[in-house]
């Protein structure tokens, strides 16, 4: 393993860490919005889903369609799928710190996607 491959590996690890931190921060903000930590008039709020589903939690959000790449990367669009995929015990945590701990524990089982320490072959 030469110096260039170590540099690429270090860069990939850092990029994974940045993606992980962004996703964790996004989920924490959605938790705060959904649970009323912020004034609803002052924050962008994804619409609650009106679709009654027996799977998952009761705080699911409606996924808006976006046809432009610019809109696809907006906060209210990019967080919905990930939020809706979280289990009930994570979403219904009693506090922000409990949510973060439960989120980290849940994501630790999602090896490739959310474990920033995972090694990728480039």
Residue 46 lies in a domain: yes
The mean pLDDT of 82-94, rounded to a whole number, is 91
CA distances to 11, 15, 94 from 61, rounded to whole Å, are: 34, 28, 19
Rounded CA-CA distance 99/105 in Å is 10
Of the ranges 3-12, 23-32, 37-46, which is most confident? 23-32
The mean pLDDT of 1-29, rounded to a whole number, is 72
Number of domains in the chain: 1
User: Domain range for residue 73?
Assistant: 3-113
With 0.75 as the threshold, say if the pTM is over it.
Answer: no
The mean pLDDT of 96-112, rounded to a whole number, is 87
Residue 121 lies in a domain: no
The mean pLDDT of 4-26, rounded to a whole number, is 71
Of the ranges 4-13, 57-66, 106-115, which is most confident? 57-66
**pLDDT of 80 higher than 70:** yes
Can you give the pLDDT at residue 122?
A: 34
The mean pLDDT of 106-117, rounded to a whole number, is 68
């Amino acid at each position: 393993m030469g110096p260039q491959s170590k540099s690429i590996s270090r860069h990939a690890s850092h990029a994974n860490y940045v993606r992980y931190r962004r996703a964790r921060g996004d989920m924490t903000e959605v938790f705060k919005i959904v649970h009323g930590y912020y004034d609803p008039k002052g924050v962008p709020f994804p619409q609650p889903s009106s679709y009654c589903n027996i799977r998952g939690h009761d705080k699911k959000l409606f996924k808006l369609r976006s046809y432009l790449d610019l809109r696809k990367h907006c906060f209210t669009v990019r967080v919905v799928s990930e939020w809706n995929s979280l289990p009930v015990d994570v979403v219904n945590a009693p506090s922000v710190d409990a949510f973060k701990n439960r989120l980290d524990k849940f994501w630790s089982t999602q090896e490739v996607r959310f474990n920033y320490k995972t090694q990728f072959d480039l």
